[in-house]
């Protein structure tokens, strides 16, 4: 492994990539493959370098749980706390202590670093000023109706589904039943029409009707003789 290969994964853009992979639920083996290193190397880096460890500590399940918890919180009456900060210069003793502590950590993680490099790293990492809170505002927020509707429709769809779709489904069911009944009636009518016993003779002339009646009478007389 090339010396200092881990350094590129301490850069901001690559730390963002690590966070995204962890958020997507990738395993350590998959993340190591994306980083082009062995999983044992990744474990060593996680133990040794705080930035990499913190970037990977949240996995997909934790993020999903946080989002669900956040959604639930919007469905209840809750409060939002807003804090405004101001920048003040650190106490000299506190600043010196923080810089000394970070310098020691940096030496351990970067044994090849020069004194100048350590000084620059400390100056970049440990700011002279710090934020302190000076105004705190608490606001009460009503439940979010849209969130409640979304939750109920997904958790209890049979009870809270959109009534428009429910009525449409009922109408389609009634239409299908009606069409089935019509088809049965049409089929029955065709079967009756094909039966010769149900044939009907239509006579539109009275004289032809009498002639037909006389023929039937003669036929009956001959059979009697």
Strand, coil or helix: 156: coil
Residue ranges of the domains in the chain? 5-58, 78-141, 162-195
Dump pLDDT digits (tens) for 175-222: 777 777 776 767 676 666 655 555 555 545 556 656 666 666 666 555
- Annotate 5-40 with three-state secondary structure: HHHHHHCHHHHHHHHHHHHCCCCHHHHHHHHCCCHH
Distance CA 79, CA 201 (A): 90
Dump pLDDT digits (tens) for 122-181: 999 999 999 998 899 999 989 888 888 888 888 887 777 666 556 656 777 777 777 777
Sign for the pseudo-dihedral over CA of 221, 222, 223, 225: positive
Q: How many helices (H) and strands (E) does the chain have?
A: 11, 2
In 3D space, the residue among 72, 70, 68, 37 whose CA is nearest the CA of residue 52 turns out to be: 37
Whether residue 55 contacts residue 34, with contact meaning beta carbons closer than 8 Å, is answered with no
Query: CB count, 10 Å around CB of 5?
Result: 13
Radius of gyration, alpha carbons of the chain = 44
pTM score, whole prediction: 0.34
């Amino acid at each position: 492994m090339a010396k200092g290969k881990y350094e590129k994964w301490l850069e901001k853009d690559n730390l963002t990539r690590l966070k995204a992979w962890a958020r997507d639920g990738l395993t350590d083996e998959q993340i190591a493959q994306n980083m082009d290193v062995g999983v044992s190397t990744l474990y060593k880096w996680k133990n040794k370098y705080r930035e990499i460890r913190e970037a990977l500590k949240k996995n997909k399940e934790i993020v999903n749980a946080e989002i669900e918890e956040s959604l639930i919180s919007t469905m209840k009456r809750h409060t939002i706390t807003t804090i405004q900060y101001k920048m003040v210069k650190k106490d000299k003793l506190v600043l010196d202590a923080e810089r000394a502590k970070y310098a020691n950590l940096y030496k351990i993680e970067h044994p090849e670093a020069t004194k100048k490099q350590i000084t620059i790293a400390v100056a970049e990492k440990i700011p002279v000023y710090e934020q302190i809170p000076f105004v705190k505002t608490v606001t009460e927020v009503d439940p979010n109706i849209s969130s409640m509707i979304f939750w109920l429709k997904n958790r209890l769809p049979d009870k809270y589904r959109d009534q428009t779709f429910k009525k449409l489904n009922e109408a389609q069911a009634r239409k299908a039943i009606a069409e089935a009944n019509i088809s049965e009636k049409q089929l029955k009518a065709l079967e009756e029409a094909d039966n010769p016993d149900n044939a009907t003779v239509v006579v539109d002339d009275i004289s032809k009707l009498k002639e037909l009646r006389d023929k039937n009478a003669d036929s009956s007389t001959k059979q009697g003789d």
